[in-house]
Amino acid sequence: MGIKEAIEGMALMLSSRKHLAVAVATMAIMVLLSVYIPVLTIPGNTIEFQLSLLTWDTIILTLIFSGLVGISIGMHAYVSAVKISNKGRAVIKTGGTGFVGVVATLFAGKLCPLCLATIFGLLGLGASSALFVFSYKAEIMALSLVLLLASIYLAGRRISACENCKS
């Protein structure tokens, strides 16, 4: 089994209107959160100012990560529906990469070290940890991309191999 089977599994999920809606809704929520979280957490920040910080590379990265998170969540919702319809028998094992995708999507947005320190401070983490994380932003995003793609690949392979998923 390879990439072809994974793509078939993703196509099965996307052919389900309900799961396609889950994927699109998740993508839209992730895009909104990537803009709105800094507005909520940073005093004096407005939506207009946050949108003015966006560049084309930021917008493209946010859309890519949001789309991958949406597809991943949609596929896992599809898998969960199949497990439930099969009377709880473990047909497909799913992984939890949603959190990784959320973090990567937020990092894809325009976050300055001061903004990240403010968000981490509200979460109870020190400002120095925010600066450490910010200094490895590219590496965190690359690792998140690999994990999201692996999650989609493995879920797609399992969906295409599952006989109950195709009916």
pLDDT at 93: 47
Q: How confident is the model at residue 24 (pLDDT cuts 50, 70, 90)?
A: very high
- Dihedral angle sign, alpha carbons of residues 46, 105, 121, 116: negative
3-state helix, strand, coil in the chain (%, to 5): 80, 0, 20
pTM, 2 dp: 0.74
- Closest CA relative to residue 99, chosen from 139, 41, 143, 53: 143
Can you tell me the distance from the alpha carbon of 160 to that of 156, in angstroms, rounded to the nearest whole number? 6
Please determine, for residue 104, whether its predicted confidence score (pLDDT) is greater than 80.
no
Q: For 51-94, what is each residue's pLDDT tens digit?
A: 888 888 888 888 888 888 888 888 888 877 766 555 555 444 44
